[in-house]
Amino acid sequence: MSPSNSTPGPTSGLSLEQQICYAMHTTVRAFDAVYRDLLSEHGLSYPQYIALMSVGEHGPLTVGRLGELMHLDSGTLSPLLKRMEAAGLVGRARDPQDERRVLVSVTAAGRDRLAGLGDVPRQIAVRSGLSRAQLLDLQRTLQAVTTALQNADVPTAG
């Protein structure tokens, strides 16, 4: 009764639409590996890098606003920011205007860390093997897919 003795075909079981997600996961982990390679020597993970960039660029941000930018919630961000604070990269302080909010800002050490990174985006682009046009096209596709997936996300809302 083992189904493996006569498989219908080499690619029949895992159909196209499935392999797409499989490919997505694989690609993301490949990206993560390259980021680890580039960032680990600077003591940063990819999420920490994105967070540091976001806070550095957009000034003091609330945890909620940063979560909107990174598409993450406080369950992920709170411990992440705590570690970054412990590393001296960011500062956290309650907003005096609204004590519910916590304002996250980059420290001088955080800016130094960013400045010492070199051109990470260029490294990534080069290693991806894609041209600028291809990258743009891929990005557009991904954004479209994301929007579609998120909008279809509530099937039985009625």
Partner DNA sequence: TACTATCAAATTGCGCACAATCTAATTGCC
Partner DNA sequence: GGCAATTAGATTGTGCGCAATTTGATAGTA
Closest CA to 113 of 41, 61, 65: 41
- Verify binding: residue 115, its own copies, rule CB under 8 A: no
Angle, CA 52 vertex, CA 81 and CA 47 arms, to 5° = 70
Residues numbered 68 to 87 that lie near its own copies (CB under 8 A) are: 71
Q: At 35, which amino acid appears?
A: Y
Determine the distance from the C-alpha atom of residue 64 to the mean position of all C-alpha atoms in its chain, rounded to a whole number.
Answer: 16
CA atoms within 13 A on the CB side of 93: 9
Q: Which two tokens stand for residue 61?
A: 């941000």
- Verify binding: residue 34, its own copies, rule CB under 8 A: yes
Interface region with its own copies, contact rule CB under 8 A, candidates 18-26, 78-86, 90-98: 18-26
* Nearer CB in complex with its own copies: 100/122: 122
Binding mask 81-120 for DNA (x = CB under 7 A): xxx--------x-----xxxxx------------------
Among 99, 155, 157, 158, interactor with its own copies by CB under 8 A: 155
